[in-house]
Structure 1
Amino acid sequence: MAESFGSDAERYDRARPRYPDAVVAAIVASSPGPDVLDVGCGTGIAARQFQAAGCKVLGVDVDARMAGLARRSGLAAEVAAFDAWDPAGRDFDAVISGQTWHWLDAVAGAAKAAQVLRPGGRLAAFWNVGRPPPDVAEALAAVSQRVVPDLPFNPRAMTKQLLDGYPSLLIKAADGIREVGGFTNPEQWRFDWQCSYTRDAWLDQLPTQGAFTQLPPEKMAEVLAHVGSAIEALGGSFTMSYATVTVTASRTDGA
């Protein structure tokens, strides 16, 4: 699934939500300099935000299709799995990862980050976690259970959560950092924000979600029709509540 998002890289780049400026500002302010490595950079969504904040960003992604689109938008991007990537002697002031760190081995990822971070450099892995309105959430859960009955998670639990399902993911990331050593004690940051979606905008991004990236077209069409009807019943648009959750730590000087 981790390598399926590039099946429609243009849609991913167009439709996926950005990150709140406060997240970018907090990471930049707590890093010793402007050199940033974006792990799992995808199409460059987070990287472009860091560039706009004055950073020099290098992206690394396992998917050549995603990295190729990132390059076309002006980002320097290399194709590799992060734990096997060769930094070629380069080091960085921050290692960031948006929506990606859970695809890595938490210990191997932290170890590689420690290898390439300068003293005082910041590791920051962050995720957008959203909760749609109840009617949209229920429609998505119902059609998911019908069309994709073998999902490896409960779709109703997925759509009802905001942060409920994320503690284990955050704990795993923090434990990986602690196990590697050479970092300050990991912290968790949270930034709450909202985003308004029209029916068409929400249906545009739905196929980019991991549960649906490998779904056959006829099944995806059924999902979109069912969820679209629920949004139409709400008047054709809705507001999504998001929290951007971050696990972060700084490289210690003596490591």
Structure 2
Amino acid sequence: MASLTETLVPFATYNSLPHIRDVANAPEDHADDLKDLRQLLDKHKVPKGVSIRLIHKHFDTKDGEVMIFDKVTILGHGIAQIMKPVAYEYSSHVAPDMANFEPFLTEFCAIVSKRNLRFKFGLRIKAEDELDNVGWTEFEFHEKRGTIMLQDGMPMPEGDSDFTVSTEWKKLIGDVWPRDCKHTKTCCHGATTCKHCTYCKAYDVEECGIDKEGSCTEAFCLGGQRVLPGTSLFDIVNTIAVQAF
């Protein structure tokens, strides 16, 4: 029997998750396993809000903190998402009801257990208002101990990252798989891609300088790339830094 437990993840448990750089090769190393897990989503006709997620972390949390996703509206650009640690007392959201999908959960857990995928792949269950077909790219925002997720079509940091890895996948129908994609490291059938840098190549990361009006007076470091004032990307990151962190 398999079940889901609705509870906040203790900080020590979250901190035990593998860092993104330690599981970056998992989608390729376990391509057949990931394919089988994705096919389960269609086989059991699970809600659209359920997807396969690469289990990873970017930053540790402190005692009393949890990592949360949030959305920020950027004037002229649309919606961006962030993930950040916050202190908590109570939190709730309306997610798809999985009470009638025990056979799916049982089969999913069996594959994860038998194939030693426990710290590689898990499930993400999104609230209904999170459902979309937009592709996201996430970048580490070291200054605020968080990540920023930008929609396809938004300005992105220029320059190379240490590695690029897909971190979320929806159901798989048939044999369409990353090997058919034009990109070598990014699965075009996934939902979220992480462009990761283990350190900032542009300059030493320091706390951003904020003036009296709440605007940043210095450059940001996003995903290991320097984001300079006067650019559209800088305006986006500055809005997020002021409003969401």
TM-score by length of 2: 0.24
TM-score by length of 1: 0.23
Please state which structure has a larger fraction of its residues in helix: 1
- Structure having greater relative contact order (Cα 8 Å, sep ≥ 6): 1
